Amino acid sequence: MPFSRSRRKTALATAFGVTAAGAALWAGVGSAQPAHAAGLPAPDHVVVVVFENHAYNQVIGSSSAPYINSLKTGGANLTASYGVTHPSQPNYLQLFSGSNQGVTGDSCYTPAFSSAPNLASELLAAGKTWASYNEGLPSAGSTTCSSGNYARKHNPWFAFSNVPTSTAKTMTQFPTDFTTLPKVSFVVPDLCNDMHDCSVGTGDTWLKNKVKAYADWAKTHNSLLVVTFDEDNRLAGNKIPTVFYGQSVTPGSTTSTTYNHYDVLRTLEGLAGLTAHAGNAATAKDITGIWTS
């Protein structure tokens, strides 16, 4: 029986005295990355925007959120997406690191208290780029608890000693040349524009004004926008809106598979080509059924 291509490579490697481990590695040259072979695309840039405290039915299908619903129509709608817990702060940590890291409330913790793996530390360790864009942050890298409508409880990267504070930028630093965006970035509106203190319509308008240009660009430049929420209004079983939009997303697609923050984190890791998974993302599942290929 003729050898497969990978078996020929392994045989040749062995003939030249390469170890079994090295032969296996060489045999894999030219094959797809494991995360992408599982059915995930490989976007050049991913931007994640996180809003606050609204249930799925308060946003999806609501006339108060025409822009988010246009993203749903032109992208993918997760109809069974859930936060993990209440209140807000643990959900942000779970979305970012696969664990609440022992934080169960909204109190302002001592910054950089954890060295646990997280999305940013994994990206940086793999030689990839990461940043967060935080509306109202007094200055890049500031670890202040609050300032005006800014609240650090919605910015989980400050919990980790393995994430440089220099990667936490202000919203005014969000680039207009989208080719300069990191591989993965999070965008966090302030307490009004994230719908926490202000209306769904306020947050929807903010998203259109601040991120629409990127979303339009992502459609034709192999990039992705994810819009999600930390938790619901405590009245809907923690079911939240989550929308994916970009060139690799099938327009108008939906999935009724149940997903939560750990699944979104695992998917973000896979989209970035990472093989490591932080915390509970290791046993979570990739989001499927919405991709063009």
Is residue 275 in a domain? Answer: yes
3 state DSSP class of 237: coil
Q: Tally the domains of the chain.
A: 2
Examine the domain organization and report whether 168 and 24 are in the same domain: no
At 63, list the tokens. 């006339």
Do residues 99 and 176 share a domain?
yes
Q: Which domain holds residue 231?
A: 33-283
**128 and 15 inside one domain:** no
The answer to whether residue 291 sits within a structural domain is no
Average pLDDT of the residues in 1-10: 37
Could you tell me if 23 and 95 lie in one domain? no
Band (38; pLDDT cuts 50, 70, 90):
low
Mean per-residue pLDDT, 147-163: 98
pLDDT of residue 52: 98
Residue 93's identity, in one-letter code, is L
Examine the domain organization and report whether 215 and 251 are in the same domain: yes
pLDDT tens-digit profile of 248-268? 999 999 999 999 999 999 999
Residue 11 lies in a domain: yes
pLDDT at residue 178 greater than cutoff 70 = yes
Q: What is the mean pLDDT of the chain?
A: 90
* pLDDT band, very low/low/confident/very high, at 160 (cuts 50, 70, 90): very high
Confidence (pLDDT) at 293: 77
Q: Where are the beta strands (DSSP E) in 154-283?
A: 168-170, 184-188, 223-229, 239-240, 242-246, 253-255, 259-260
Q: Is residue 289 part of a domain?
A: no
Q: Are 182 and 259 members of one domain?
A: yes
17 plus 145 within the same structural domain: no
**26 and 39 assigned to the same domain:** no
User: How would you classify the pairing of strands 239-240 and 81-82?
Assistant: antiparallel
Nearest Cα residue to 60 out of 195, 242, 212: 242
Are residues 42 and 23 part of one domain? no
Tens of pLDDT along 86-123? 999 999 999 999 999 999 999 999 999 999 999 999 99
66-74 and 200-218 helices, crossing angle to 10°: 30
How many whole angstroms separate alpha carbon 65 and alpha carbon 207?
10
The mean pLDDT value for 232-258 works out to 98
Taking only the tens place, the pLDDT of each residue in 47-62 is 999 999 999 999 999 9
> Can you tell me whether residue 61 is helix, strand or coil?
coil
The answer to whether position 292 is within a domain reads no
13: pLDDT strictly greater than 50: no
CATH code of the domain in which 72 resides: 3.40.720.10
Same domain, 233 and 275: yes
Across the range 146-152, mean pLDDT stands at 98
Q: Please name which of 262, 223, 257, 229 lies closest in space to residue 243, comparing C-alpha atoms.
A: 229
CA nearest neighbour of 167 among 141, 188, 139: 141
Assess if residue 156 is contained within a domain.
Answer: yes
